Amino acid sequence: MKTKKDIGRIINILSNELKKSMNKDAACYGVTGIQSKVLYYISKQKSDIFQKDIEAQFHTSRATASGILQLLEENELIRRECVDYDARLKKIIITQKGLDIKESIGKEINKTEEKLKLGISDDELDTFLKVCDKMLINLR
């Protein structure tokens, strides 16, 4: 007999646990989990990066991305500068203070990724990611 699975509830629980873990790991750097992920993403970019790039990468609204960036700026982890070719655009630049914690944040992110994959085979992980992609498409 097949039992009905409450997929949304399970995904929500997983998301909440992941956020709690990320927030705990990032707290010692004075940032939240999502701020640490955004800071790490910014630090890895080779070309100019803008708020719209953060919105796209993290699937957030303009207001959410703006709030994250404002807090990173207040904590002096990033700064925003106008670009020569369009005064409306402000590129995001990681500060030395941001660079100083980037490696540690990267290690925490990698540790969490490894913890998530414990006991899961590559095939299971591939299947999981394919199913997640399909679910995202279904919701759009």
Count of residues making up the chain: 140
Distant-in-sequence, close-in-space partners of 105: CB < 8 Å, separation ≥ 6: 26, 29, 31, 36, 39, 40
Which domains, and CATH codes, for the chain?
A: 7-139 (1.10.10.10)
Distances (CA, A) of 135 to 33, 88, 129, 132: 24, 36, 10, 5
Q: What is the pLDDT of residue 2?
A: 55
DSSP 24-46: HHHHTTTS-HHHHHHHHHHHH-S
User: Rounded CA gap, 7 and 23, in Å?
Assistant: 24
What is the C-alpha to C-alpha distance for residues 114 and 71, in angstroms, rounded to an integer?
A: 28
Per-residue confidence (pLDDT) for residue 87, from 0 to 100? 84
For the purposes of burial, counting CB atoms within 10 Å of the CB of 66, is it exposed (0-12), middle (13-18) or buried (19 or more)? middle
What residue ranges of the chain have pLDDT lower than 70? 1-4
Q: For residues 89 and 108, give the distance between their C-alpha atoms in angstroms, rounded to a whole number.
A: 31
pLDDT of the residue at 72: 97
